[in-house]
Structure 1
Amino acid sequence: MSTSSNSGERAGDSDALGTVTTNIPARLDRLPWARFHWMIVIGLGTVWILDGLEVTIVGNLSAVLKDSTDGLGLTSGQIGMAGAIYVAGACIGALFFGQLTDRFGRKRLFIITLLVYLGGTVLTAFSMNPAWYFGCRFITGLGIGGEYAAVNSAIDELIPAKYRGRIDITINGSYWIGAAFGALITIPLLDPALVNPEFGWRFCFALGAVLGLVVLFVRRNVPESPRWLFIHGREDAAEEVVREIEDRVEHEDEVDLEDPEQTITVHQRKTIGLPTIARTVFATYPRRTVLCLGMFVGQAFLYNAFFFTFGDTLQTFLGVGQTGWYLAAFALSNFAGALILGPLFDKVGRVPMISSTYIVSGVVLAVAGFVLGDLTALTLTVFGIVAFFFASAGASSAYLTASEVFPMETRALCIAFFYAIGTAVGGITGPLIFGRLIESASNAGDITGIAPGYFLGAALMVLGGIMALFLGVKAEQQSLEDIATPLTAQDDD
C-alpha cells in the first residue's frame, strides 16, 4: 500500500512536487519468479539478441562486403571503420536517449529506441556505396545504444532483488544467441548456389528488422517502471501498475502475497538536473565510478576488437572460406558462460565473480596471443571459446554493476555514461587497431602481427578484475534502494 501527501512545490524549486511514502520497491522485490517476469525478459531482453545479430552479421560478411561487384568494395580497414562507426553511434545514442529515459520514462524510450534501430537496419539492407553503409551503421548504433540505457534500467527496476543478478547476466549474455543465429543464417544466405550473392548479404540485415518488429509487438505489453512513476509524481499510476502485477502473479502462479512493512519516503521531482547527477557520480560515489569505467573499458575493447574482426582473421590468415560455423560455436560458448555462471553472481556474490571472470578471461587471451603463430582456425576458436565463456559473464556484470550501484534517478544516464565512455575508449579504438593490425600483418604474411591487440585486451580485462577486488560492491540480493538511496530520499524538506 502507498500513501502520499501532495505538499506542493518546495520553496525555490519549480521541479519539486509532493512527498510520497511508498512500499512499492519492497512489493516488487518480494515477488516470486512468475510468468510476468518471463514477459519482461522476452520483451526487453531481446535487444541483446538484436545487437548480437547485427555485430555477427557484419563480422561474417567481411568477404562479400569487400567484393566490388556483389558487395560494397570495402577494405579490411573500412570493415574496422564500419565497426567503429556503429559503436560511435551506440555511444552517442546511449548518452542522448539515456538522459531522456530518466526524464520521460523507461517505456516511452525503449519503444522509440527500438524504432530507431529498425529504421537503421532496414536502410542498411539498401546500401549502395560505403558512405551510405557507414551512415546506416551509425543510425543502427544510435538505436542500440539507446536500448542499453532504457532497457537495462527498466529490467533492474522490475526484477525482484533475489533474481536480479542472474537475470541481468543472462539477459545481457543473450547477445550471443543473436550472434549464433547471425553466424548460422549467413551460411545459406551467403551460399551463391542458394542465393544471389548480390542480395544474400542484404537479406541478412533484413532479418534483424523482422526480429525487431516481433520484439516491438511483445514490448507494448511491458509496463512503465513503478519506481520511475512514483518518484516523478505519478504515485497513483505506480500503485495501479504494481497492483496489476500482483493480481497477475497471484492468479497465474497461484500464490498468496503479503504486504511488506518496509517503506521509503521521497520528495518527488519532475526532473533531476545534470549538475546534480554529475555530483552524485563523481563526488558521492567516486569508487563506484572508477570501477564501472574500468569494467566497461576492458570488456568493450576485448569484445569489439576480437569479435568484430574474428571472421576477418580466420579468412585472411587461416584460409577459412565460410566462417559461420566457427562464429556460431564461439557465440554459443559465450551464452553458456552467462547462463551457467549467472546464478553464482547472486549466490557466491558480485565481487568474487566479477573479479574471477575478468582475470581468467584475460589470462587465457594472453596465452592465445603468445602461441598465435602455432594456432589453426580450430585451435584459435577453442581459445576464444574458453576465454569468452568467462568473459561473457564478466562483460554482462559491467552493465549489471552500472545499473544497480547508483541512485534510481540517475540509473539510465549512468548506464549510458559508462557504456559510452568505456565503449568509446575500448570499442571504437579496438576495431580500428585490429583493422590496422590485420592489414599490416596480412601484408607481412604473419598472423602474429595481431598479437599486440590480444595482449592489450588481456591486460585491460585483468586490470578490471583487480579493480573489482578492491572497489566492488556487495549488491547481491539487496534492494536497489538499499544499494544506493534515491536522491529524492536524501533531500531535506
Structure 2
Amino acid sequence: MTDTAVSRARVAARLDRLPPSRWHRRITLTVGIGAFFDLYEIFLGGVLAAVLAEQWDLGHTAKSWVIAAGFLGMFAGANVLSVLADRFGRRRMFLVNLGAYSVFSLACAFAPDLPWLLVLRFLAGLGLGAELVLVDTYLAEFLPRAVRGRYIAAAYTFGFVGVPVAALLGARLVAGHQLLGIEGWRWLLVAGALGAGFLQLMRRRLPESPRWLTVHGREEEAVRIVRDIEERVAGETGLTLPSVPEAETVPERRVPLGEMFRGDLRRRTVMWWIFQVLQTVGYYGFGSLAPVVLTAKGHTVTESLLYAALGFCGYPIGSALSVPLIDRIERRTLIIASALGIAACGLAFGFAAATWAVVTFGFLLTVCSNVFSNAFHVYQTEIFPTGLRSSAIGIAYSLSRLTSVALPFVALAVLDGLGAAAVFTGSAVLMLLLCLDVALLGPRSTGRSLERI
C-alpha cells in the first residue's frame, strides 16, 4: 500500500474510532434539520391538492399535477446535484440545494394561478432534490461506525416532525382563512422558504467531508479537518482517544460512475434501483395521498387534514423508535420486517370506514414507515464506496421521485374507479416484491466500516 493510500485509509479509520461526542450530536442536528424541509415539501403536495381542489376548482388531473410537480423537480435535482456532490463536494451542494429551494418556495407562495404554481413547485423541487441524499452521505462519512445507524435515525427524527406540521398547519389554514390579507395555504410555502434560508446560514460553518477530500487527493486538508475534530472530541469527552487500528486501514479511491454496473456493485445497483421504485408506492403513497383519500371516503377537507395530521404523528414517533433498533438489528432484516408492517397497516387503512380505525391504522402505518425509512437511509450509504456514494444513491433516489410523479395519476384514477381499498391492496403487493428484492440481493452491513462493506 502506498503512503498516499495509507494516508487516505487512516483518515477514515481515525473518524471511525472516535467516541460519540457533543460535536457529533451538533452536526447530526444541523444536517438532520434539513430533512425537515424535504419531507415538509413532499407531504405539502397532498395538503395543497386537498385545499386548492376547492379554492381553484381543480379536477382529477390538476390535483395530480399539484402533487407531482415537486416530485418531478426532485427527480431532476437528485440526478444533477447528487452527481455534482461527488465532483465538487458535499458542503457546496448543501448550500446550493437549500438556497434554490428557499428562493423558489418563496416565489411559489405568490403564484397567481395553477400553471405558475406548478412551474415554481418544480423549480423548488429541483433545488431540494438531493437533500436527503446529501444528509445520508454527509453524516455517514463523519459518524463513527458504532453509532452511525442510530445517529442518522435521530437526524431523521428531527426531519419527520415536518410531516405532521405540514398537515396541522394545513388544517388550520384551509379554504377561506387569511392571515394579514394573504390566503392561508400561501403561508405554508413562506414558512418552508424562510426556515430553509435560516438553515442555510447555519450550514455555512460545516466542514467538508474528509473522506471525500482524500478521494480527490486533498489529503492535507482532510487531515487538518480530522485533527480539529479529534481535538474537539477529546476536549468534550475528556477521554484519551483510542489508537487507530492498522487492520482498518483499507484505502478508498476515486471510482468512475460506470463502476456501478461492474462486479459486485452491479448487483447492489440493480437491487437498489428496484427497491427505490417499489418503496415510493408504499411509503410516499400514504403520506402524499392521505388527505385526498380521506376526502374520497366522505370527510370534509378540514376533517381530512386533521385526521391525516393525527396519522402523520406516527412519522416522528416511528423514527424515534428506530433509534434503539437500528444498530442492534441487521439493516436488511429491519427493512424487510418494517415493509411487511407497511403492507399490513396499509391494507387495514384502505378498508377502514370508522374514524377511529382510519386514524389508528394511519398512525401505525406511519410508525412502520419510519422504522423502514431510517433503516434504508442508513443502508444505502453503506453499500456504495465514497467515490460514487452520492451519485449512486442520488441516481437510484431519482427513480423514486420519477415513480412519485406517476403515482398520483395512477393512484387517483384507481381511487376514483375502485376505491381506497384497491389503492392500498396494490401498494401491499409491491411492498412484498420489495422484501424479496432486498432478501435475495441485499448485502449485510450492520456494524462494519464503510470501507470494508
Contact preservation (8 Å) 1:299, 1:391 = no
2:323 to 342, 356, 361: 342
Q: Report if aligned partners of 1:402, 1:418 keep a CA contact under 8 Å in 2.
A: no
1:197 & 1:376 partners in 2: Cα distance?
37
Question: Which position in structure 2 is the counterpart of 1:401?
Answer: 379
User: Of 388, 408, 420, which aligns to 1:431?
Assistant: 408
Deviation, structure 1 residue 289: 2.2
- Distance in 2 between residues matched to 1:422 and 1:21, nearest whole Å: 33
Moved more, 131-140 or 282-291: 282-291
Aligned counterparts of 1:198 and 1:183: Cα–Cα separation in 2: 19
CA distance in 1, matches of 2:180, 2:61: 26
SS in structure 2 at match of 1:305? helix
Partners of 1:204 and 1:364 lie apart in 2 by 29
Is 1:384–2:362 an aligned residue pair?
A: yes
Tell me the distance in 2 between the aligned counterparts of 1:91 and 1:433.
Answer: 18
The structure number with the bigger radius of gyration is 1
Following superposition, the deviation at residue 229 of structure 1 comes to 0.6
The 5 A counterparts of 1:80-229 are 80-190=64-174, 192=176, 195=179, 198-229=182-213
The residue number in structure 2 matching 1:10 is: none
Cα pair 2:8 2:215 within 8 Å, conserved: no
Matched, 1:469 2:439: yes
Shift of 1:267: 7.9
Question: Residue 302 in 1 paired to residue 282 in 2?
Answer: yes
Matches within 5 A, 1:51-66: 51-66=38-53
Percent identical: 27
Shift of 1:282: 4.7
> Number of paired residues?
450
Deviation at 1:72, TM superposition (A): 4.0
Q: 2:33 — aligned with what?
A: 46
Tell me if structure 2 keeps the 8 A contact 1:173–1:393.
no
Asked whether the equivalents of residues 45 and 70 of structure 2 are also in contact (C-alpha less than 8 Å), the reply is: no
Q: What is the letter of the counterpart of residue 302 of structure 1?
A: G
Q: Is the 8 A contact 2:252 2:386 kept in 1?
A: no
Contact 1:355 1:469 in 2 (8 A): yes
Deviation at 1:168, TM superposition (A): 2.4
Residue number in structure 2 paired with 1:360? 341
The alpha-carbon distance between structure 1 residues 146 and 193, as it changes in their structure 2 partners (threshold 3 A), is closer
> In 2 relative to 1, CA 227–299 (structure 1 residues): closer, same or farther, beyond 3 Å?
same
Which digits, 9 at most, give the CA deviation of each residue in 1:429-481, with x for residues without a partner? 2211123234x34xxxxxx5232221121111122123322333221111100
- Tell me which moved more, 321-330 or 258-267: 258-267
* 1:343-377 Cα deviation digits (max 9, x unpaired): 322112112211111122112323443x34xx134
Query: 3-state DSSP class of the match of 1:46?
Result: helix
Q: What does residue 240 of structure 1 align with? A: 224
Query: What pairs with 1:213-292 in structure 2 (closer than 5 Å)?
Result: 213-262=197-246, 264=249, 266=251, 272=255, 276-292=256-272
Whole-angstrom distance in 2 between the partners of 1:164 and 1:267: 19
Following the alignment from structure 2 to structure 1, what is the Cα–Cα distance between the partners of residues 23 and 429? 41
Contact 2:153 2:319 in 1 (8 A): yes
Q: Contact 2:147–2:327 (CA<8 Å) still a contact in 1?
A: yes
Please list the CA deviations of residues 180-199 of structure 1 after superposition, one character each: whole Å capped at 9, or x if unmatched: 11222234333746637852
CA contact (8 A) 1:93 1:143 kept: yes
- CA-CA distance at 1:26 after TM superposition: 1.3
The Cα offsets for residues 83-128 of structure 1, whole Å up to 9 and x where unpaired, read as: 2221111111011011110011110111111111112211110111
Pick one of 5, 10, 16 that aligns with 1:29: 16
Structure 1's unaligned 5+ residue stretches are 6-17, 442-447, 484-493
Distance change (3 Å), C-alpha of 1:258 and 1:395: closer
Deviation at 1:233, TM superposition (A): 1.1
Deviates more, 1:461-470 or 1:128-137: 461-470
Letter in 1 for 2:169: I
Q: CA RMSD in A?
A: 2.3
**TM-score with structure 1 length normalisation?**
0.85
Partner SS state of residue 481, structure 1? coil
| Matched residue SS, 1:23 | helix
Shift of 1:266: 4.5
Instruction: Write the mapping of 1:321-340 to structure 2, written as runs, cut at 5 A.
Output: 321-322=301-302, 323-340=304-321
**Corresponding letter in the other structure for 1:134:** L
Correspondent of 1:414 among 387, 392, 410: 392
Partner secondary structure for residue 465 of structure 1: helix
Evaluate the alpha carbon distance shift between residue 45 and residue 336 of structure 1 in structure 2; reply closer, same or farther with a 3 A threshold: same
Structure-2 residue corresponding to 1:311: 291
Name the aligned partner's letter for residue 464 of structure 1: L
